[in-house]
Structure 1
Amino acid sequence: MAHPFLRPRRWLALALLAGLTPWILSPWPLPQAVALQAQGTTVAFVAQPRLIDSRTTRNLASDGGAIYYLTVDVPAAAQVPMDRIVIRLDEGRDPTFRYRLGATQVWQTVGEERRAVTLGEVVEDRAAQTLTLNFDPPLPPGGTVTLALHPVRNPRWAGVYLFGVTAFPAGDVVQPRFMGFARLSFYEQDRHRWP
């Protein structure tokens, strides 16, 4: 008869505990994905960035002068710089919708410090209704990133428009992270107002 301490389940439990001990004692959370890039491996964010806010300064259909603000939380635990963000109009298509690319602004806030972010190429694909913001250099993880997008005009028709927001880590072979939908609502202009 085997000694009670040598039962297989106890050994399995001890082996697991011994393997996890550094993580249990560590102040850092367990990683969700590997962030290191060796030859031919895929780079991914360890802690995932996420879209936390979206709003517009003007919400009338076809109105000019609006600014769309999208705020993304990029935790320091992401461990990988962010190379670019792609915004795609997924719901509420308007074939005439486009951005004023030169007016695009981005800033990063870490603690109380807010700094402007240098943009690389800003590319709009009107057929796919996407806007790609390349960061030059890639953004280090930590804090929040706010995008200020300037459409030429709001969409022509009233309704709810969903803009999908995806982050790409820096690297040769990367795993993009969909961060959520920016939901913006636009309303018809009241043409029956009293003068």
Structure 2
Amino acid sequence: MGVFFAIATTVSIQSTARSQGKFKNPTQPHLTEIGTIESIPTQITSPQQFKNPTRPHLSEIGIPKPTAVETTQSQISQPQISQLRLRNGQTFFSNPPRLARINASQKQARVPSTYEVTLRVPIDAGQPLKAVKIVQERNLETVKFDLNRSKAFAGERYAAGSEIPLASVGGTSTPGEAMVVFAQPAQPGSTVTIAFETNANPEAGGIYEFGITAFPDGESGLGQFLGLGRISFNSSSN
């Protein structure tokens, strides 16, 4: 019963009811569904398809029932990590990372800027943090990220701590989207800041929203949507 409760709680957690639109399940996408990996199809699924979009049931999103769970213990490092894994190999967070901050280094229109996303990985996350994706919500303009310049750092601010090596940057991406994959996953209890570089801020000012999804370690990690961060930009007339 304890394992069943942990999984049901994990799947039901939603930071927001907003849809990410491009995954089979927008609040729990697979790491293999991300566009930076070739030949993996993406499908649009709306949260409205669930009876309760903020708390979908396992049976509604195609995940095996909780009886198909295997829990193994890893002694990799402190804190001890409980490797939560479904029988089909999918991994998930027992307590997902928290979106602590999102900010832009420049707020003026049409100038290059760095969008900083700070995440806190709880001590009881159950899995290390392997990858992070940012997706802009629809607006008057769409930001274009410079994927080759993405970076990550330990701590609360850009370059405040040691740089975290990335295993995957660059490649092709849909406008308004970017993703980083850590060479070594960020362990539970740590804080990381990801720097997504943009070619230019939007010319049309106002508030722009960006959805953040975190992926646990494992090739078939179930992504957890962490919520929307807002950045307010100045218009070109200001």
TM-score (norm 1): 0.71
- When residues 190 and 155 of structure 1 are mapped into structure 2, their CA distance, relative to the original with a 3 A threshold, is closer
Q: Identity of aligned pairs, percent?
A: 25
Matched-pair contact (CA < 8 Å) for 1:107–1:116:
yes
1:58 maps onto 2:112 in alignment: no
Residue 159 of structure 1 aligns with which residue? 206
| C-alpha contact 2:203 2:235 (8 A) present in aligned 1 | no
Structure 2: distance between partners of 1:129 and 1:56: 15
Q: State the Cα distance separating 1:125 from its structure 2 match.
A: 4.9
Match in the other structure for 1:43 = 91
Deviates more, 1:101-110 or 1:153-162: 101-110
Check the 8 A contact 1:53/1:72 in 2, yes or no.
yes
Residue 114 of structure 1, CA deviation: 3.2
Q: Residue 148 of structure 2 aligns to which amino acid in structure 1?
A: G
The 5 A counterparts of 1:1-195 are 31=6, 32-33=9-10, 35-37=83-85, 39-64=87-112, 66-92=113-139, 94-95=141-142, 97-109=143-155, 114-123=161-170, 125-127=172-174, 129-190=176-237
Indicate conservation of the 8 Å contact 2:133/2:214, yes or no. Answer: yes
Q: Take 1:156 and 1:174, find their aligned partners in 2: how far apart are those partners?
A: 36
Query: 2: CA distance between counterparts of 1:41 and 1:121?
Result: 22
TM-score of the pair, normalised by structure 2: 0.59
RMSD value over aligned CA atoms?
2.7
**Does structure 2 conserve the Cα–Cα contact (< 8 Å) formed by 1:124 and 1:132?**
no
TM-superposed CA distance for 1:173, in Å, is: 2.7
| Matches of 1:93 and 1:144, distance apart in 2 | 33
Structure with greater strand percent = 1
* Counterpart-to-counterpart distance in 2, 1:153 and 1:147: 18
State the alpha-carbon separation in 2 of the partners of residues 129 and 59 from structure 1.
17
Q: Which runs of 5+ in 1 are unaligned?
A: 1-18, 21-29
Deviation digits for residues 111-162 of structure 1, max 9, x if unmatched? Answer: xx93321111124655353101011122222221111222111012112111
Shift of 1:101: 2.6
Aligned partner of 2:236: which letter? Q
Separation (CA, whole Å) in 2 of partners of 1:138 and 1:75 = 14
Structure 2: gaps (5+ residues): 11-70, 72-82
Q: Please state whether the residue corresponding to 1:36 is helix, strand or coil.
A: strand
